[in-house]
Structure 1
Amino acid sequence: MIPRQTRIDAVGVTHPVVDFAHAPRIVSLVPSITELLCDLGLAPWIVGRTGFCIHPAALVKSIAKVGGTKDVNIGKLRALAPTHLIVNIDENEKPTVDALASFVPHVIVTHPLGPRDNLVLYRLLGSIFDRNEAAELLCTQFNCALSALREGRPQRVLYCIWKDPWMTVTRDTYIARMLEQIGWQQWSAQPEPASARYPVFSWSDQLVREIDMVLLSSEPYRFTEAHVDSLELQIGKPVLLVDGEMLSWYGSRAIAGLHYLNQLRQQA
C-alpha cells in the first residue's frame, strides 16, 4: 500500500496512483522535473516539455515542446491530450496553470524550498507514478551526498542571476538554502523585500563592504569569465563563475548539486 501522504502535492491536493493499464500522458513545465521524471523511468510517458527542458538530451529530444516555462502554448499543449501536468509555483504562472487545469485532469504542483525538500519530491512523483523503488534509490543517493558535504569557511556571498539590471536572490530561495549547506550566506538587502524573491540591486561601496565574494551564475543570464574579470576589477572582491543548474535545479540534479557544493567549497 502506497502511503497516501506521499501523494499530496504543494497545494494540498492528493493525487491517485496512476494505473498503467491506461497509459498516462505527462507534460512537464519544469526543466528539473522533466529530468527527474526521466530518471524515474517515466520518459516513455512524457508527451510534452518546455524548450528549457534539455536534460537528459538523448531522451527529451523526441518530446514535443510546448513553449517556455512562462509563455506556454496552450493550444499545442491541449492537442497533446495530457492526463497529467507537472508545474512549479515559482517557475510557472498561476493564470496559465489555472487555464490548463480546465482541461488537464491531474495538475501536480511542486514547490521545493530547500535541498531536503527533494526527498519529498522524489516520493511524491514516485508514489503517483508507481516508481517507488526508483524514488527511494534517489533518496538514498541524495542522503549520501548530503552526508558527504563538508562545511567550508563562512562566506558572505552575492549570487547574481542577471545583468542590466543586476538581479540576485533572497535568502528565502532554494539557491540560498543550497549555499547554506556549506556555510555560505546569501547577501540580503536590509530590509529584505517581502514581495521580490529575485530583487534588482545596484552596486555600492556599502554593498561591497557587506560581502566576501560574488557568484555569477551560468543561468538564466549567461555570465562568462569575461564578466568575472571585469567585475573583479570593478569591486576588488573575488568573483566566481558557478554552474547555475547545479545550484538551482532540484530533482535528481540536486544530488550532483550537493557534490558540486563540495567543489565550490574547495575553490573558495
Structure 2
Amino acid sequence: MQPRAFDAAGVAHETAGVHARIVSLVPSITETLFALHLDGQIVGRTGFCVHPRDKVRAVRKVGGTKAVNLDAVRALRPTHLIVNIDENERDTVEQLRACVPHIVVTHPQTPQDNLALYALLGAIFDCDQQAQRLSEMLEDRLRAAATHAFTAQSVLYLIWREPWMTVARDTYIAAMLRLVNWRTLPDVQGGAAGAARYPTLDFDAAPWLAGVDRILLSSEPYRFTSTHRDALARDPRLAGKRIELIDGEMVSWYGVRAIEGVDYLMRRASAA
C-alpha cells in the first residue's frame, strides 16, 4: 500500500485498516476524530479531551497533554498516536515511538490549515467523505468572514495571570482573531530571535498598551471569570479599555471546532 498523506513532520502515512487503534493526546483532535465518525477506533485520550462530552466518557484516559502516562498508552496497544507540536512534549513522543507503529504529528497554525488537517486524517483513517464535508463547512465560514467588513480592533488576548501572558501574532489564536479584523498586541512574532510565542507582559512596561481597544480574557488555559474582569476594569492603567470574557475553546481549538469558532467570532465582532 502506497503512502497517501504527509503529516506536519513530513512523515508519509498509509491508509489504516478498520482495526486501527487510535490514542489522541490533543483535545481538539479527539473532538475531530469523533466528528469523522471514528468512534470505534479511538481507544485513548487525555483528561483534557472533553468533547464530545457524551462520547469521550467511554474512552480511557492516559494522563494530560504534557504529563502523559506512558504505561497507560502502552497498555492500550495503539496502532496510531496523534500528537501536536505545541501541545505535547517531544521527549514523551520519542519514548512512545518504540511501542506505537504510527505517530501522526499535527501543527495547524492558521484556520486555513484545518483543511489540510481534515484531509490528513481522512486519508489515514479512510474517511475522506466525512473529511470533505468538514472542509466544505469550514470553507463556507472562511468565505463569509472574508467578505464581511469588520471594524478594525487592536486586542490584548490574555491566556494567563501571575504572570500575565498573551499571544504572539504567529499563533493560531492570533490568526483566528484576524479573520474578524482583530489584531493582537504586542506586535511580536514568536519565531523572531528571543521572542516567545506566548510572551509575558507587565502593564507598567508596555508602551503599546495605549493602542489596545479591548482586552479579551480567555476561558483557557487559565479560566478567567467575571471576578477577574471586574478587577481589571478597576485598574487605572486600563481605564477606557473594553474588557470582556471570551470562549478560549472557540478561538484556540482547531479541527472541527474551527467551524463553530469562526461563526462565534463573527457574531462577537458584528455585535461590537
Tell me which residue corresponds to 1:124.
120
What percent of counterpart residues are identical?
52
Tell me which residue corresponds to 2:99.
103
* TM-score computed with the length of structure 2 as normaliser: 0.93
Give the AA of the match of 1:165.
P
Task: Choose from 67, 71, 75 the match for 1:71.
Answer: 67
Task: Choose from 242, 251, 256 the match for 2:255.
Answer: 251
| Residues 21-52 of structure 1, C-alpha deviations (whole Å, 9 max, x = no match) | xx011000000000000000001111100000
Q: CA separation in 1, counterparts of 2:214 and 2:53?
A: 33
Offset of residue 151 of structure 1: 3.7
Structure 1: runs of 5 or more not aligned: none
Q: CA separation in 2, counterparts of 1:9 and 1:135?
A: 15
Offset of residue 206 of structure 1: 2.3
RMSD, aligned α-carbons = 1.7
> Which stretch of the first structure deviates more once superposed, 55-64 or 144-153?
144-153
Does residue 229 of structure 1 match 2:216?
no
Q: CA separation in 1, counterparts of 2:225 and 2:163?
A: 16
Tell me which residue corresponds to 1:182.
180
Does residue 160 of structure 1 match 2:158?
yes
Offset of residue 188 of structure 1: 1.8
Residue 217 of structure 2 contacts residue 224 of structure 2 at CA under 8 Å; is this kept in 1?
Answer: yes
Structure 2: runs of 5 or more not aligned: none
| Residues 189-225 of structure 1, C-alpha deviations (whole Å, 9 max, x = no match) | 5686644111111112624212111110011111011
| Residues 227-264 of structure 1, C-alpha deviations (whole Å, 9 max, x = no match) | 11221221111111100000000000000000001111
> Which stretch of the first structure deviates more once superposed, 147-156 or 86-95?
147-156
Task: Choose from 116, 137, 146 the match for 2:133.
Answer: 137
Are residues 189 and 76 of structure 1, via their aligned partners in 2, closer, same or farther at CA, if it must alter by over 3 Å? Answer: same
Offset of residue 184 of structure 1: 0.8
Tell me which residue corresponds to 1:199.
199
Does residue 15 of structure 1 match 2:13?
yes
Q: CA separation in 2, counterparts of 1:258 and 1:73?
A: 34
Task: Choose from 77, 87, 96 the match for 2:83.
Answer: 87
Q: CA separation in 1, counterparts of 2:118 and 2:112?
A: 11
- For this pair of structures, how many residues does the alignment match? 264
Q: CA separation in 1, counterparts of 2:271 and 2:55?
A: 33
Give the AA of the match of 2:61.
K
Are residues 98 and 226 of structure 1, via their aligned partners in 2, closer, same or farther at CA, if it must alter by over 3 Å? Answer: same
